[in-house]
Structure 1
Amino acid sequence: MTLLRDHDLARAFDHASQTYDRLTAMNPGYRADLLRSARRLRLPRGGAGLRLLDLGCGTGASTRALLKAAPYAHITAVDASSGMLERALTKPWPARVRFLHLTAEELHTSGQGPFDAVLAAYLFRNVTDPDAVLASVRALLLPGGRLAVHEYSLSGSRAHRTLWNAVCRGVIIPAGTLTGDRDLYHHLRRSVLAFDTAPAFASRLTRAGFADVRTIPVAGWQTGIVHTFLGHSGSPSAKAAVS
């Protein structure tokens, strides 16, 4: 099962950036589910005085969700694809939101942070070493800092795996082929099949040092296919924040 990685994957996203928003708009609940994940961070005071990281921001859909959930926060949004960032920057943003061209692996040496919370949407399937990236994320969080991961991570059920394959073959890959991005959407299908199941990723988060890890399936057709994973960086004082 061949997957795109690193520069090859960034280039594929660069190419897809012009049509990416139109294709994701075809997915019922795509933006609403991102907003639910951002709100599950339960950030106080509308985010006033908080510094947040949107890791793998793409064209800004997850950034918009984070901004709606915490309208007064300062948000740093990063992505490895320059094309996706260019699309994000065509949209209106308050001065408290900034975009940076960085890979997840570069974060720990970038001088960014610390952060009060991190949202990572559709990211961890696409990194070569998720454990190393999780360690970097935890190091960038303040004590008690919160993490929400919004990710394609199958439940482990054969029915959910079969549904994912059917949707990819019937809708996602044909739509991506029409836009000239067949390789990227084949990668999407394969990366989900190759990635951790939801219980396995929750265990990975715990091994990485995150505390009070919870897994919440999204609603609708993606139940058992997309999950929100919540945790915090280990401070006892933050335990109630993700309960």
Structure 2
Amino acid sequence: MNLLRDEDLAAAFDHASRSYDTLVAANPGYHAHLRRSVRRLQLPRHGGGLRVLDLGCGTGASTAALTRVLPDAEIVAVDASAGMLERAAAKRWPPGVRFVQSPAERLAQAGVRGPFDAVFAAYLFRNVADPDAVLASVHDVLAVGGRLAVHEYTLSGRAVDRAVWTAVCRGLVLPVAALLGDGDLYRHLWRSVVQFDTAGDFADRVRDARFTDVRVLPLPGWQTGITHTVVARRPAVGAEAVR
């Protein structure tokens, strides 16, 4: 099963941006789950004095979760899709929020530089061509001791969870997306979950990228076993050598 990549994927997200918020709003718990994952960063002082990178912000759902949980943080929100980013930037935001168009692999070229106290990445890693390269970039822009939370469709590895995901996509998501003219994108999104790492495999990938304190945390509702938060930390100087 072939996946969309790079320019084709960005163009598909551009086209789908007009109806994206409507579709995700139909997903029970979508926004509450994002806020739960942000809270799992365990940042102090409502984010006061902290810089947070929202990597793969889309139309701003993850940005909204960050501003709800961390209203006093400075947030830099990045996405590769001009269409999605236009929708996000058009919404009302606190003064500490800034949007930047850039692929996750080319942050420095877009002027996005650390150190950040935390990176939040929702529904991103299975949509990039080289997840390891993106994790390396995230590691580099994080401050020492900085925190990472990845909110992602990463299946548990159980056959029943894969079956539920496929049933929801084929029975509901794909028919609606086809009517909207976005069938190619949502077929990609279904396949990307099936073909991506399990939650445990992704946690191992994060460890291999020199992060520590890696944990896999489930999310409730119908997405139990389908969506997880993977949290980690950039270790203190010298700690990487003794892992």
After TM superposition, the structure 1 = structure 2 runs for residues 114-153 of structure 1, keeping only pairs within 5 Å, are 114-153=115-154
1:13 counterpart letter in structure 2: F
1:61 counterpart letter in structure 2: A
Residue in structure 1 matched with residue 241 of structure 2 by the alignment: none
Give the percent of matched residue pairs that are identical in Structure 1 and Structure 2.
63
Q: Distance in 2 between matches of 1:108 and 1:8?
A: 23
After TM superposition, the structure 1 = structure 2 runs for residues 188-227 of structure 1, keeping only pairs within 5 Å, are 188-227=189-228
Q: SS at the partner of 1:4? A: coil
Does the CA-based 8 Å contact 1:108-1:140 persist in structure 2? no
Q: Distance in 2 between matches of 1:55 and 1:195?
A: 18
After TM superposition, the structure 1 = structure 2 runs for residues 53-202 of structure 1, keeping only pairs within 5 Å, are 53-111=53-111, 112-202=113-203
> Could you state the TM-score of these two structures normalised by the residue count of structure 2?
0.96
Q: SS at the partner of 1:216? A: strand
After TM superposition, the structure 1 = structure 2 runs for residues 39-58 of structure 1, keeping only pairs within 5 Å, are 39-58=39-58
Shift of residue 178, structure 1, vs aligned partner: 1.4
Q: Distance in 2 between matches of 1:115 and 1:158?
A: 38
Shift of residue 207, structure 1, vs aligned partner: 0.5
Q: Distance in 2 between matches of 1:35 and 1:210?
A: 23
Q: SS at the partner of 1:71? A: coil
Shift of residue 235, structure 1, vs aligned partner: 2.3
Q: Distance in 2 between matches of 1:54 and 1:17?
A: 18
Q: SS at the partner of 1:23? A: helix
1:113 counterpart letter in structure 2: G
Shift of residue 83, structure 1, vs aligned partner: 0.3
Q: SS at the partner of 1:72? A: coil
Please give the root-mean-square deviation of Cα atoms over the aligned residues, in Å: 1.2
Q: Distance in 2 between matches of 1:77 and 1:177?
A: 29
Does the CA-based 8 Å contact 1:108-1:136 persist in structure 2? no
Residue in structure 1 matched with residue 240 of structure 2 by the alignment: none
Shift of residue 108, structure 1, vs aligned partner: 3.8
1:193 counterpart letter in structure 2: V
Q: SS at the partner of 2:107? A: helix
Q: SS at the partner of 1:84? A: helix
Shift of residue 110, structure 1, vs aligned partner: 3.4
Residue in structure 2 matched with residue 241 of structure 1 by the alignment: none
Could you report, residue by residue, the CA deviation over 1:74-93 in whole angstroms, capped at 9, with x for unpaired residues? Answer: 00000000000111112101
Residue in structure 2 matched with residue 240 of structure 1 by the alignment: none
